[in-house]
Amino acid sequence: MNKAKIYIPTKTSMQSGLGKTDKWVLEFETIDTGINPLMGWESSSDTMSELNLEFSSKELAIEYAKRNKIIFEVIEPQKRKTIKKSYADNFLK
């Protein structure tokens, strides 16, 4: 049976804001990986591992997984720590 994980993807290193961090993703795990004899790259014959489904809420993703009998794991997002600093703090010491 297919195993999947449900999570909110982290922002890329090129993002400073929080845009596009509100979508939940259902991503299938890769099964049966191997080395491609021609190029030497890691490959798989499982096409489900290439599929990422986006949902607007965690509940919708869980409901979809249960309806399609997918074994899933929910990874909760970690809260961001915000440290409020003043620009003047760079010069006071």
User: What b/e readout covers 34-52, taking b as 16+ CB neighbours within 10 angstroms?
Assistant: eeeeeeeeeeeeeeebeee
Spacing of C-alpha 11 from chain mean position: 10
pLDDT, average across residues 59-80:
92
For the entire predicted model, the pTM comes to 0.71
Domains and CATH numbers, the chain: 3-10+19-90 (3.30.160)
In tens, the pLDDT along 38-61 reads 888 877 777 777 789 999 999 999
